[in-house]
């Protein structure tokens, strides 16, 4: 007798106002299998998994666990059934320690409701040790880096010994070493019979971690294949319904006058004597390993963090940027690494977010002209092809790629001279990445300068005019595009001569 899949989803449908997110989707996961789920942003991947995890109620269809029909009534019910989800956007509580987050709601107790902290820390240390990560379980999550927080999230999911584990973009903030540790953990889990749903936009990971791969497009299931029986170009075609032969459509434009100069910028051991220049029409890529000081450099230039020494010139004028608002008034913008907490106001509409930096320009006598604000939002929703039910839809209800486009829309509308883009395509599918790159081309063609911080070397090599490589807070190398290779950028990022 054939063993039924650990999970079977049949005919799943889910509609939101103005949008059909899932249209009769079939999907299953076998015990001990990693089933990779692919699709462009807005294809329905996250909605399908939210239905499975109880976070979203389906409108139609059925779910079976080990062949048994179930109605998942909410997240707690899904967890009681052995379904655990690691979302792309972390769900940790910053004020609590790593151990408290891992065992939140199921803390070991001594009696009379008193938490057994010795056991709490010991059990958390055991889980973190299994992941082979060096994190003190007593440390507050707010003191950890994003990669460390991601590993705490993984440990939290493993704490309840799941039968099915959903991982949504689990490697987006991890180093190569941490990715290998995560893959080793997945192997140990599947060896115990745990089924894993693995969502990723890094197509090179499909063959490394999966046994089967399914593709969603526009809320529909379009294909399922054994890994190894389908090529990366074919997967891209299935996802986008088009051939993406050019992943990095870089268009070089004549370099204009200098728009930004930084000399001798320092902040403790995080940024040490950094100098750089940026010209109009140029993309300056910034490479480096996690902790090299890339994001910290951008924050210091933009006035978000203080610096101890150094000088900054914007459009030829030496300035002292006193904060992000001051930076914006001087023509600098930021597309941050964490779009949800730093780039968007999630409770506001697409219209409200797109118009935020332009509020003063859209106002008369201190009152925002609503008609002009709506016109601005409609223009950029149309031009950037943002998938939304309308400009009044809450931005929190958009997919990750469309949220990123809203962040870009507000800076395109504001007509900035310099745009810092920190991990601009993190968690975004292949098709949406190409659209982001085309928008970068558009900005540079209009005379803006872009500083692009990225952990993806192919992206840096494909889209940069020059690449500045950082190591332990310092500039280790500055390479012209024609001189930059994956090997010499990596050498410099590891502290060697390029």
**Are 419 and 470 part of one and the same domain?**
yes
* C-beta separation of 287 from 460 below 8 A: yes
How many residues are recorded in the chain? Answer: 498
- pLDDT for residue 244: 41
Of the residues 181, 211, 245, the one at which a domain ends: 245
Residue-range definition of the domain harbouring residue 140: 94-155
In this structure, the strands spanning 109-111 and 114-115 are antiparallel
* Confidence at residue 205, expressed as pLDDT on a 0 to 100 scale: 87
Query: Do 129 and 167 belong to one domain?
Result: no
Tell whether 221 is covered by a domain. yes
Same domain, 225 and 264: no
| Full DSSP string of 208-264 | HH-SEEEEEETTEEEEEEETTSS-HHHHHHHHHSS----S---------SEEEEEEE
Whether residues 414 and 303 share a domain: the answer is: yes
Q: Which parts of 289-351 are beta strand (E)?
A: 309-314, 317-319, 332-335
Q: How far apart are the first and last CA of the chain?
A: 60
Q: Are residues 437 and 345 in the same domain?
A: yes
If one counts the domains in the chain, the total is 3
For residue 229, tell me if it sits in a domain: yes
Torsion of CA 426, 429, 430, 433, to 10 degrees: -50
Asked whether residue 275 is domain-assigned, the answer is: yes
Q: Quote the Cα angle for 186-189-190, to 5°.
A: 85
Residues 287 and 315 in one domain: yes
Does any domain span residue 42?
A: yes
Q: In Å, how far are 202, 203, 208 from 180, measured between CA atoms? A: 14, 16, 10
Mark the ranges of the chain whose per-residue pLDDT is less than 50: 243-245
Can you tell me whether residue 166 is helix, strand or coil?
Answer: strand
**176 in a domain, yes or no?**
yes
Residue with tokens 């709506």: 374
Q: Which long-range contacts (CB under 8 A, 24 or more apart) does 17-24 make?
A: 17/389, 17/393, 18/389, 18/390, 18/393, 19/387, 19/389, 20/219, 21/47, 21/219, 22/47, 22/48, 22/51, 22/58, 22/219, 23/218, 23/219, 23/220, 24/60, 24/61, 24/220, 24/221
Q: What is the pLDDT of residues 121-150, one digit of tens each?
A: 999 999 888 878 889 999 999 888 777 888
- At residue 201, the pLDDT reads 75
- φ and ψ at residue 80, rounded to 5 degrees: -65, -25
Q: How far apart are CA 335 and CA 174, in angstroms?
A: 20
* Residues whose CB falls within 8 Å of the CB of residue 198, separated by 6 or more in sequence, listed in order: 34, 35, 36, 37, 167, 170, 186, 205, 209, 210
CA distance 223 to 213: 8
Kindly state the tokens that stand for 221: 């299931």
The angle that helices 117-130 and 146-158 make with each other, rounded to 10 degrees, is: 110
12 and 72 in a single domain? The answer is yes
Q: What CATH number does residue 304 fall under?
A: 3.40.50.300
Are 29 and 144 contained in the same domain?
Answer: no
Asked if 73 and 105 sit in the same domain, the reply is no
Domain boundary (155, 172, 200) is at 155
Q: Which residues pair with 15 in a beta bridge?
A: 20
Q: From CA 262, how far away is CA 255, in angstroms rounded?
A: 18
CA distances 71 to 47, 74, 197, 463, Å, are 16, 9, 20, 47
In terms of Cα–Cα distance, which of 294, 312, 307, 349 is closest to 493?
294
**Domain annotation covers residue 115:** yes
Task: List the one residue out of 24, 27, 22 whose CA is nearest residue 5.
Answer: 27
Domain end residue (candidates: 194, 221, 245): 245
Residue 251 lies in a domain: no
Give 343-401 as a DSSP string: I--TTSBHHHHHHGGGTTTTEETTEE-HHHHHHHHHHHHHHTT---S-TTSBGGGS-HH
Q: What are phi and psi of 383, to 5 degrees?
A: -65, -35
Q: What is the pLDDT of residue 362?
A: 72
Same domain, 147 and 57: no
Residue 87 domain-assigned (yes or no): no
Regarding whether 217 and 169 lie in a shared domain, the answer is yes
Same domain, 186 and 281: no
Burial of residue 116, with CB atoms counted within 10 A of its CB: 0-12 exposed, 13-18 middle, 19 or more buried? middle
Strands (E), 131-219: 164-168, 195-199, 212-217
Instruction: Give the pLDDT confidence score for residue 245 in this predicted structure.
Output: 43
* Predicted pLDDT of residue 241: 65
279's tokens: 């010209």
pLDDT of amino acid 243: 47
- Quote the CA–CA distance of 420 and 422 in Å, as a whole number: 6
pTM listed for this prediction:
0.58
Q: What is the pLDDT of residue 372?
A: 84
């Amino acid at each position: 007798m054939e063993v039924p899949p650990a999970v079977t989803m049949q005919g799943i449908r889910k509609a939101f106002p103005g949008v059909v997110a899932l249209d009769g989707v079939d999907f299953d996961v076998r015990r001990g299998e990693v089933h990779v789920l692919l699709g462009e942003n807005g294809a329905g991947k996250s909605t399908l998994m939210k239905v499975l995890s109880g976070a979203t109620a389906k409108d139609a269809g059925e779910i079976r666990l080990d062949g048994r029909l179930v109605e998942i009534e909410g997240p707690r019910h899904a967890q009681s059934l052995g379904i655990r989800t690691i979302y792309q956007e972390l769900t940790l509580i910053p004020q609590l320690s790593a151990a408290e987050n891992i065992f939140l709601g199921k803390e070991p107790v001594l009696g009379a409701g008193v938490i057994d902290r010795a056991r709490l820390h010991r059990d958390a240390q055991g889980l973190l040790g299994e992941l082979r990560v060096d994190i003190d379980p007593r440390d507050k999550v707010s003191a950890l880096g994003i990669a460390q927080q991601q590993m705490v999230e993984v440990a939290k999911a493993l704490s309840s010994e799941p039968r099915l584990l959903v991982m949504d973009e689990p490697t987006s903030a991890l180093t190569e070493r941490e990715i290998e540790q995560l893959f080793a953990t997945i192997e140990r889990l599947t060896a115990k019979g745990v089924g894993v749903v693995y969502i990723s936009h890094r197509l090179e990971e499909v063959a490394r971690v999966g046994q089967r791969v399914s593709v969603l497009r526009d809320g529909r299931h379009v294909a399922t294949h054994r890994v190894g029986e389908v090529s990366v170009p074919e997967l891209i075609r299935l996802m986008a319904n088009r051939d993406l032969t050019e992943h990095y459509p870089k268009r070089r434009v004549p370099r204009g006058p200098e728009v930004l100069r930084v000399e001798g910028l320092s902040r403790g051991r995080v940024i040490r004597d950094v100098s750089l220049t940026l010209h109009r029409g140029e993309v300056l890529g910034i490479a480096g390993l996690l902790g090299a000081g890339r994001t910290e450099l951008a924050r210091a230039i933009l006035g978000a963090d203080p610096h101890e020494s150094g000088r900054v010139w914007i459009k030829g004028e030496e300035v002292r940027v006193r904060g992000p608002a001051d930076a914006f008034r001087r023509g600098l913008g930021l597309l941050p690494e964490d779009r949800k907490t730093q780039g968007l106001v999630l409770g506001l509409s697409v219209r409200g977010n797109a118009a935020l930096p332009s509020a003063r320009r859209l106002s008369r006598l201190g009152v925002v002209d609503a008609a002009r604000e709506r016109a601005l939002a409609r223009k950029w929703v149309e031009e950037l092809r943002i998938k939304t039910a309308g400009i009044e839809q809450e931005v929190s209800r958009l997919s990750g790629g469309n949220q990123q486009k809203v962040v870009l829309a507000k800076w395109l509308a504001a007509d900035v001279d310099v745009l810092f883009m920190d991990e601009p395509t993190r968690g975004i599918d292949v098709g949406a990445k190409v659209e982001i790159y085309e928008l970068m081309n558009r900005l540079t063609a209009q005379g803006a300068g872009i500083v692009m911080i990225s952990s993806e070397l192919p992206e840096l090599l494909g889209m940069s005019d020059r690449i500045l490589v950082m190591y332990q807070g310092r500039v280790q190398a500055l390479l012209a595009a024609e001189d930059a290779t994956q090997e010499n950028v990596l050498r410099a990022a590891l502290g060697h001569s390029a």
